[in-house]
């Protein structure tokens, strides 16, 4: 089930701050909806566990998250592949680009994702909606994380 999604979001922080947060596992962990753990295992590699519900299928995905094409502070490619046990698998990547805006930073993203197994069989009609909702949630969490009032994270 290849699914693609593009978007951009304005963040109330400068590019360097945004870039730093984008590379901070603690921040990502808080922002990724359903994320239960996210641990750095090597440079540019993390191990993640996230709980996701798509339609009638609820699954805990475990997998590796890799950062590539790293170009500080302009952007990177984040990709991951998770095994959801009997629910199937999810994999995908996002190209994330940062540009300076009038106020703060513009983050644009270009996502491609695939799911397979039960999650594709029973949840295929919901997958686009779920992905958009998760992206929205991530960026609203992320915007909060980078906002000056939240620098304590």
The correct pick among 116, 137, 147, 150 for binding other proteins (CB under 8 A) is 116
Rg for the chain, CA atoms, rounded: 15
Please tell me whether residue 1 binds other proteins under the rule CB under 8 A: yes
Among 34, 79, 28, 30, residue whose Cα is nearest residue 52: 34
Say how far apart CA 30 and CA 111 lie, in whole Å: 20
Please say whether the beta carbons of 92 and 77 come within 8 A: no
Any idea what DSSP says for residue 102? S
The correct pick among 120, 130, 131, 146 for binding other proteins (CB under 8 A) is 120
Helix axes 127-146, 15-22, angle to 10 degrees: 120
Nearer to other proteins, 16 or 45 (CB): 45
The residue range among 8-16, 25-33, 39-47, 79-87 that interacts with other proteins, by the rule CB under 8 A, is 79-87
The residue range among 19-27, 71-79, 83-91, 99-107 that interacts with other proteins, by the rule CB under 8 A, is 83-91
Please tell me whether residue 122 binds other proteins under the rule CB under 8 A: yes
Please tell me whether residue 88 binds other proteins under the rule CB under 8 A: yes
b/e string for 70-104 if b means 16 or more Cβ within 10 A? eeebebbbbbbbbebeebbbbbbbbbbebeeeeeb
The correct pick among 42, 43, 102, 125 for binding other proteins (CB under 8 A) is 125
Least distance (Å) from other proteins to the CB of residue 124? 5
Binding site for other proteins (CB under 8 A): 1-2, 56, 60, 83, 85-86, 88-89, 114-118, 120-122, 124-125
């Amino acid at each position: 089930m290849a699914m693609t999604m593009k978007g951009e979001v304005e963040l109330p922080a400068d590019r360097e701050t945004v870039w730093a947060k984008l590379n901070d596992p603690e921040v990502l962990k808080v922002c990724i909806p359903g994320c239960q753990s996210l641990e750095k295992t090597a440079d540019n590699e993390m191990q993640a566990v996230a709980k996701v519900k798509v339609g009638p299928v609820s699954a805990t995905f475990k997998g590796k998250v890799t950062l590539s094409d790293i170009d500080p502070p302009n952007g990177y490619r984040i990709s991951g592949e998770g095994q959801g046990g009997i629910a199937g698998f999810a994999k995908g990547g996002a190209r994330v680009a940062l540009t300076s805006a009038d106020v703060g930073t513009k983050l644009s993203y270009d996502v491609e994702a695939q799911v397979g197994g039960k999650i594709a069989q029973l949840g295929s009609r919901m997958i686009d909606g779920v992905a958009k909702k998760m992206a929205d949630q991530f960026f609203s969490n992320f915007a909060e994380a980078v906002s000056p009032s939240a620098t304590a994270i």
